Structure 1
Amino acid sequence: MSGTLTVPRAGAGAWLPRLAWAALAYNVLVILWGAVVRITGAGAGCGDHWPLCNGVVVPQSPTLHTVIEFSHRLTSAASGLLALALLALAFRATPRGHPARLGAALSLGLIVLEGLVGGVQVRLGLTADSTDPARGLVQGVHLANTFLLLGALLLTALWASGRPALRLRGQGRVLGLGTLGLVLTLVLGMAGAVTALGDLLFAPTPGTPLDTVRRDFGATAGLIENLRVVHPLLAVLTSAYLVWLVTALRRWRPSPGVTRWGAALVGVLALQMVAGFANVALKAPGWMQLTHLGLACIMWLVTVLLTYEALSALRRVPASARRGVTA
């Protein structure tokens, strides 16, 4: 595995990493704005029409909810244009076989899928005040696709900046345990999306969190309410595993990158736990939900970075140490 990838530093090559990092930052903002749509109940602002809004291209005399939903569609469409530009620039600035091309293609595909999932949600009426259990499923899938999109954009930006491609063969248990960390973080995010939906549709019961849990398993409670408790339980499990993973990777794959992003992940986990407790204590206000989601995006990206650094560090580990890892 080579230490760096060749990316021209003039013309299109100079713009490729800039565009990739900009696309990543922009999509995080789009995700947060999508949460605003959910929190404000504006998901039905364009009715059950998609991709049109209330049956027209540009809504006339729109309500506030229509403005919020339509603006989200516009910002999402801009994400697609950014992805197209990123793909075109990657093919122009890099040679055949360069991983930035693969990353840009995956990013575009995931953005298209993101739009389709959103469209299905609108066409099926799984927006606004809908308590259909299918809405929880779609919400979780939407979040999973969002995280995968952010991961693809992050890898594209790294590869466009000259960072090495990944070699999965010979990685031993580091690959398996790192993948498990990513899967747990992804599932945690999906569960969080369902819990956030439950907080929106079924306001937490006045009193202690236990009072809310009792109601969530009452005779009249629905599936979305039943699943609300899964997220905090999974958060404890996932956090414990990720802290252990950081410690293990520092020992198995010692490198500045693993040390840096391992420390960053532990810090983000601590912030996220505080935010989670505050969200429960404050009965899930909108601003706290946005903070929690923003930290979740950062946590996912840092976990991807840590895994990437650990897999990239294989070339710097002596053969004797590698035998210990793969045993």
Structure 2
Amino acid sequence: MNKETGSDPGICVDTPALAVFLNGSILYGVAAKVTKDGKTVSSASDLAVKTPQKAATALPKAILVFAWLSLIAEVVIIGTGGAVRLTGSGLGCPTWPTCTPESLVPTAEMGIHGVIEFSNRMMSMVVGLLALVVLVLVWRLRATRRDLFVLAAIVLGGVVAQGIVGGISVLTGLNPFIVGFHYVASLALVCVTAAFLVQAYSPVGPRVRVVPSWFAGIAHATSLVVAVTIGVGVLTTGSGPHSGDATAGRTGFNVEILEHLHAWPAYLAFALTIVLVVAAAVRRLPVLGWAAALLAVELVQIAVGLFQARNGLPELVVGVHMILASLLAAVMTVVLLRMKRAAPAE
């Protein structure tokens, strides 16, 4: 039994799994060294240099192209969903799955709100179609790239479930808690799609951690704080003025208090990310670029958040804030996944 990993001797490997930012620790071990037969082969810091740079995998180009399109679509639908809420079009189509009891599509008398809501529903069809294409493309690889197959299946299943949740939100008159869950689930799908791309560009085979255990711990803590920040942000939005429809209810929480509760973990996540960037730069860790990208997204997100809070929550700025949250979740996912790389050749 290896004292540091708590596992039997052998090359430390990870199991491809769902990489949501809520708790990256389920994906990563905490071994400080790579061991084989109980003997030290290499330290994690050395591995960043010794790991061979292999071709992504011999994946067909179509898989990568449609995976990228799927990720883009997942982000875009967060933007279109935000537009529905911010323009007061949440009940532009008052029924589901049809737009009205008599019509699948919006009618002329429903005006622009019906068009906006129906357009968002059509965007969900695009997201679902792209997810289906990715799953079909990886189907024949399910034996050798089970990681990709599982992630693709999760995305498609999640998109279908999201359609149902969206329908429930309409049928409940835009209940703020259901609408908030709808948004969080969309962020989770962004994370899974980002994880798919990271795995797709990674070589097949055993993987080892290429950062020190303390760095991994800080990264996981950062992901948890980011999750809390987003969660409180969802409650804040659900308590604010942008309900999606004049008749929709709010959470009943004090929005001013929630704004402060939302800001505190955001600043903590920013501070922790600065630690990650400085540590990665000093130790020359291979995750430096992605850690820096995470810091940049957080900086812009904080600036946008402060602007919207001090200027009466303008609709366009709130929409940008929502989209930036999806990018933040995606980059956080990549940072966690890139802490492991392919094990060096024997």
Q: Determine if the alignment matches structure 1 residue 268 to structure 2 residue 318.
A: no
Residue 42 to residue 298, structure 1, CA distance change in 2 (3 Å): same
- CA change 1:24–1:114 in 2 (3 A) is same
The corresponding residue for 2:272 is 241
Equivalent position amino acid for 2:265 in 1? L
Gaps of 5+ in 1: 127-133, 203-220, 317-327
What is the deviation of 1:6? 7.0
Pairing of 1:1-327 with structure 2 (within 5 A): 7-8=57-58, 13-47=60-94, 49-55=95-101, 56-61=103-108, 62-93=110-141, 95-126=143-174, 135=176, 137-163=177-203, 172=213, 174-201=215-242, 222-223=252-253, 225=255, 226-249=257-280, 254-256=284-286, 258-312=287-341, 315=343
Q: CA deviation at 1:124?
A: 1.0
- Normalised to the residue count of structure 1, the TM-score between the two structures is 0.76
User: Residue 115 and residue 178 in structure 1: after superposition, are their counterparts in 2 closer, same or farther (change >3 A)?
Assistant: farther
Pairwise CA distance, 1:95: 4.0
Q: Quick one: which amino acid aligns to residue 150 of structure 1?
A: V
Q: Which has the higher mean CA deviation after the structures are superposed, 87-96 or 231-240?
A: 87-96
Deviation at 1:249, TM superposition (A): 4.9
Deviation of the 1:44 alpha carbon: 0.7
Question: Is the alpha carbon distance of 1:296 and 1:276 closer, same or farther for their aligned partners in structure 2, counting shifts above 3 Å?
Answer: same
Question: Which whole-Å CA distance do the structure 2 matches of 1:6 and 1:278 have between them?
Answer: 41
CA distance in 1, matches of 2:315, 2:273: 28
1:94 CA displacement: 5.7
Do the aligned residues in 2 keep the contact of 1:194 with 1:224 (CA within 8 Å)? no
Structure 1 residues 163 and 125, CA, compared in 2 at 3 Å: closer, same or farther? farther
More strand per residue: 1 or 2?
Answer: 2
Q: Residue 301 of structure 2 aligns to which amino acid in structure 1?
A: Q
Where does structure 2 lack aligned partners over 5 or more consecutive residues? 1-12, 14-50, 244-250
Aligned mates of 2:199, 2:205 — CA distance in 1: 7
- Kept in 1, the 8 Å contact 2:85–2:242? The answer is no
Please give the per-residue CA displacement for 1:253-289, whole angstroms capped at 9, x wherever unaligned: x433x11111212222222221122112221111111
Structure 1 pair 97–150 and aligned structure 2 pair: CA distance change class (3 A): same
Confirm or deny: 8 A CA contact 1:32 1:293 kept in the other structure: yes
1:150 to partner: Cα distance = 0.7
Question: Structure 1 pair 196/163, CA: closer, same or farther in 2 (3 Å)?
Answer: farther
Select the structure that is richer in helix.
1
Corresponding residue for 1:210?
none
Identical pairs, percent: 28
> Are the counterparts in 1 of residues 165 and 182 from structure 2 also a CA contact under 8 Å?
yes
State the number of aligned residues: 283
SS of alignment partner, residue 312 of structure 1: strand
In 2: Cα distance, 1:299 partner to 1:165 partner: 28
Contact 2:239 2:253 in 1 (8 A): no
Q: Encode CA deviations 1:215-260: one digit per residue, 9 max, x unaligned.
A: xxxxxx93153534321222122222232233345567x433x111
> Which structure's relative contact order is higher, taking Cα pairs within 8 Å and 6+ residues apart?
2
User: CA-atom RMSD, angstroms?
Assistant: 2.9
